[in-house]
């Protein structure tokens, strides 16, 4: 028990220190007292001129022991029967309150943790549900988009086809007009230049042959 040893040493040390200090100061005190006594104008003296320690005067022993026994006895009675039980009561009440509060806090913490677990569980459920809804919605959107795209594509190719057909028809019409015009122009030119009136059917066949040749 190093602790006890240290305390024992402390006690011994302070005892030795105290005793030696006491010796020193008693000597100093005695010298001072003697100096005061031998001073020519010593105003005091009389009752304690002896310079001895009042502590060592046996005349005081009975009263000191009597009053010590009385006061210490009263103190012990008051402490053991009145004061200390009251302090102990207060301390115990506080200890009880603290442990009760701690137990309550632990219980509340447990409850809170249970609630937290519950919340997390429902949160996870909600999250997965939300993800399902999102996936469903995006699949639906995707399908919708694709349908519209397909429709749009069909629509566009339909229009393209129509446009191409009408362009081809217009081209055919234009070519036919060109042939008729060309036949007229050919008959007119040959009539004026050669004075030959070409048969319309013959001119038309010649123009058609040239056109056919050009179109390749």
Partner 1 sequence: MDPLHQFQINPLFQIVLGGYDVSFTNSALFMVVAVAAIYALLVMGVANKSMVPGRLQSLAEMFYEFVANLVRDNAGHDARPYFPFVFSIFMFVLIGNMIGMIPYTFTFTSHIIVTFALAATVFVFVTILALMKHGLHFFSFFMPHGAPIALAPILIPIEVISYVMRPVSLSIRLFANMMAGHTMLKVFAGFTVMMISGMGALGFVTGLVPLAINVALTGFEFLVAFLQAYVFSILTCLYIRDALELH
Position 105 contacts partner 1 (CB under 8 A): no
From CA 29, how far away is CA 36, in angstroms rounded?
A: 10
Among 86-94, 158-166, 177-185, 207-215, which window interacts with partner 1 (CB under 8 A)?
86-94
Near partner 1 by CB under 8 A: residue from 22, 102, 112, 168 = 22
Position 54 contacts partner 1 (CB under 8 A): yes
Pick the closer one to partner 1 by CB: 17 or 139: 17
- Is 82 buried (19+), middle (13-18) or exposed (0-12) by CB count in 10 A? exposed
Shortest approach of partner 1 to residue 46 CB, angstroms? Answer: 11
Q: Which residues contact residue 34 at a Cβ distance below 8 angstroms, ignoring those fewer than 6 apart?
A: 51
Position 194 contacts partner 1 (CB under 8 A): no
CB 198 within 8 A of CB 186: yes
Q: Which residues contact residue 189 at a Cβ distance below 8 angstroms, ignoring those fewer than 6 apart?
A: none
Position 74 contacts partner 1 (CB under 8 A): yes
Pick the closer one to partner 1 by CB: 64 or 146: 64
Q: What number of CA atoms fall less than 13 Å from residue 130's CA on the CB side?
A: 6
Shortest approach of partner 1 to residue 105 CB, angstroms? Answer: 16
Residue 207 CB: number of other CB atoms within 10 A? 20
Q: Which residues contact residue 191 at a Cβ distance below 8 angstroms, ignoring those fewer than 6 apart?
A: 197, 198
Pick the closer one to partner 1 by CB: 21 or 152: 21
183, 180, 175, 181: which is closest to 199 by C-alpha?
A: 183
Near partner 1 by CB under 8 A: residue from 79, 147, 168, 185 = 79
Shortest approach of partner 1 to residue 98 CB, angstroms? Answer: 9
The footprint of partner 1 (CB under 8 A) covers 3-4, 7-8, 10-11, 14-15, 17-19, 21-22, 24-26, 28-30, 32-33, 36, 44, 47-48, 51, 53-57, 59-69, 71-72, 74-76, 78-80, 82-84, 86-91, 93-94, 97
């Amino acid at each position: 028990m190093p602790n006890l040893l240290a305390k024992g040493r402390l006690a011994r040390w302070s005892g030795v220190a105290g005793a030696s200090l006491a010796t020193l100061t008693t000597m100093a005190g005695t010298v001072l007292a003697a100096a005061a006594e031998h001073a020519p104008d010593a105003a005091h003296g009389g009752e304690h001129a002896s310079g001895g320690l009042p502590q060592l005067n046996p005349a005081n022993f009975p009263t000191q022991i009597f009053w010590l026994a009385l006061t210490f006895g009263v103190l012990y009675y008051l402490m053991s029967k009145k004061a200390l039980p009251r302090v102990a009561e207060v301390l115990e009440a506080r200890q009880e309150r603290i442990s009760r509060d701690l137990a309550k806090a632990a219980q509340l913490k447990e409850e809170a943790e249970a609630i937290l677990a519950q919340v997390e569980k429902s949160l996870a459920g909600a999250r997965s549900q939300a993800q399902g809804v999102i996936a469903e919605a995006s699949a639906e959107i995707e399908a919708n988009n694709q349908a519209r795209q397909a429709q749009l594509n069909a629509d566009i190719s339909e229009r393209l086809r129509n446009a191409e057909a009408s362009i081809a028809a217009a081209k055919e019409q234009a070519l036919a007009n060109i042939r008729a015009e060309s036949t007229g122009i050919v008959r007119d030119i040959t009539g004026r230049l050669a004075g030959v009136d070409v048969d319309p059917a013959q001119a038309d066949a010649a123009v058609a042959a040239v056109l056919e040749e050009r179109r390749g």
